[in-house]
Amino acid sequence: MKIALFNIIIYFGMIILRIMIDMGHPAHVHLFKNVIWGLNKRGHSVLVTARNKEVTIDLLKAYNFEYISVGEIGSSKVDLILEWINRDYEILKIASKFNPDILMGMSNPCVAHVSWILRKKAILLDDSEITTFSHKITYPFANAICTPSLYKKDLGKKQVRYDGYHELAYLHPNYFTPDPSVLESFGIKESDKYVILRFVSWGANHDVGHRGLSLEDKRKAVHEIEKHGRVLITSEKPLPDDLEKYRISASPEKIHDLLFYSQVFFGDSQTMTTEAAILGTPAIRCNSFVGENDMSNFKELENKYGLIFNYRDPKKALEKAIELLHTSGLKEKWVDKKEQLLRDKIDVTGFITWFTENYPDSFPIMKENPNFQLQFKVVS
C-alpha cells in the first residue's frame, strides 16, 4: 500500500529531469536505448555523449540519437589513461553547459568524476566484478551503483541489486521481437543451419592480462564448424584473407536478429554470449576469464540455466560446438531454458527507468524493500 501511494505521489508530482548518459562501448547503446526513449517520452531531457569505439557511433546514428562524440580508443594502456583524462575534461565542459541533474554510464569513471566536481548525482551500472582498477577510480565518486543480484562483489552502501542482466534491457521480449526479414539479405531461410562466430579485440582496460581465441583456434573452428552449417563471422579485429570471406557486414542494429535464428554461437566474446543465451541460442564461450574467478553471470547461465558452455581450452570448446550441431531439435530444447530465465528475471529497462526518474527516493525504497522490483517481472 505504501509503495502504491508513493508511486501516485511521484507520478503527479513528477519533476522534469536533465539526464546525461555517456556511452563508452557499443553494448552501452543497446543497454540505454530503451531507457532513453522511455525518459524522453515522459518529458525528460537526455543528452548522449559517446566514445568513438567500434560501432558505437554507427549504432547511435541507426537509432537516430543525437550525440556528442568524445574520445577515441587507443592502442595501449598508456593511451587509455590519456584518453580517460581527456574525456574527463571534455565531458566536464559538456556537462557544465548542459547542467544535468543526473549523469549515467556503465562503470564509467568520467561520469563519476564529473558528477562529483559539479556536485551532481551519478547513477552507474556494473556487471563485471573483474574490473578492479576502474572500480577504484570510479566508485568513490558515484552516488548509486546498480548491479545484478548475483554480482559477487560487495560495493558497499551505494550498491543496489536487481534480478537481471544488462542484456535484458534490450533483449527482453517487452522490447525485442526478432525480424526474419533480416535473413533475406544474407540468402538465409529460417530453416537453414548457420553458426555465428564472434572474435573480440581484447583491448579494453578490463581485458589486460587476458586472452581469447588465437588465430589458429579461429581457423580450426571455421574449418570444423562449416562442415555442419554456414559460418558467419563478426570480428572487432582485421582478419586474414582466408577468414575475411566469412565476415558479415550486417548493420550493428540487426545482429541480434541474426543471433536469434542462429543454430549455435561460438566465440570469445562476453556480451554476445549472454545475448545468445537470452535469445535462446546455445552459446560456447572460450577465453581466459573462464575458471573459478569467472564472472557470476556466466556461471549462472551455465550452471543454473544450462544455456551456455564456458571453456578455457579451445579444443574442448570446439568439441562442444560440434556436439551441439549434431543434436536434433537443439533450438527447441533451448526455448524452455530461455523461458525459465525470463520468468526469473525482471524487465531491466523498466527498472532502470523507474530508478532514474525517481532518484534519489528510489534508492532507499530498493534498499529497504528489494522486492519492490518484482513489479518489473511481468512479460508482455
- Residue 295, C-beta contacts closer than 8 angstroms, at least 6 positions apart: 127, 128, 129, 130, 270, 289
Into how many domains does the chain fold?
Answer: 2
Residues 323 and 248 grouped into a single domain: yes
Q: What is the pLDDT of residue 252?
A: 81
Cell output for 168: 535484458
Residue count of the chain:
380
What region, left, alpha or beta, does residue 107 occupy, with left being phi > 0 and alpha being psi -120 to 50 degrees?
left
Q: Give the Cα separation of 17 and 259 in Å (integer).
A: 36
Residues 28 and 129 grouped into a single domain: yes
Residues 362 and 309 grouped into a single domain: no
Taking a C-beta distance cutoff of 8 angstroms, is the pair 193, 227 a contact? no
Q: Which residues of 180-209 are buried (b: 16+ CB within 10 A; e: fewer)?
A: eebbeeeebeeeeebbbbbbbebbbebbee
- Per-residue pLDDT tens over the stretch 325-372: 999 999 999 999 999 999 999 999 999 999 999 999 999 999 999 999
Residues 10 and 144 grouped into a single domain: yes
Q: What is the pLDDT of residue 75?
A: 58
Residues 237 and 324 grouped into a single domain: yes
Q: Give the Cα separation of 131 and 188 in Å (integer).
A: 39
Residues 221 and 270 grouped into a single domain: yes
Q: What is the pLDDT of residue 379?
A: 58
Determine the structural domain holding residue 324 and report its residue range. Answer: 180-343
One pLDDT digit (tens) per residue for the chain, 380 residues:
344 444 444 444 568 999 999 998 889 999 999 999 999 999 999 999 999 887 899 999 999 999 999 977 665 666 677 887 899 999 999 999 999 999 999 999 999 999 999 999 999 999 988 777 889 999 999 999 999 999 999 999 999 999 999 999 999 999 999 999 999 989 999 889 999 999 987 545 444 455 789 999 999 999 999 999 999 999 988 999 999 999 998 888 899 999 999 999 999 999 999 999 999 999 999 999 999 889 999 999 999 999 999 999 999 999 999 999 999 999 999 999 999 999 999 999 999 999 999 999 999 999 999 999 999 986 55
Residues 118 and 249 grouped into a single domain: no
**CATH number, residue 112:** 3.40.50.2000
Residues 10 and 150 grouped into a single domain: yes
Residues 360 and 332 grouped into a single domain: no
Q: What is the pLDDT of residue 212?
A: 85
- Residue 283, C-beta contacts closer than 8 angstroms, at least 6 positions apart: 264, 265, 266, 272, 273, 276, 277, 307, 308, 309
Cell output for 188: 538465409
Cell output for 123: 547513477
Q: What are phi and psi of 248, to 5 degrees?
A: -100, 145
Q: What is the pLDDT of residue 54?
A: 79
Residues 230 and 351 grouped into a single domain: no
- Neighbour order of strands in the sheet with 283-286: 230-235, 194-199, 264-267, 283-286, 308-311
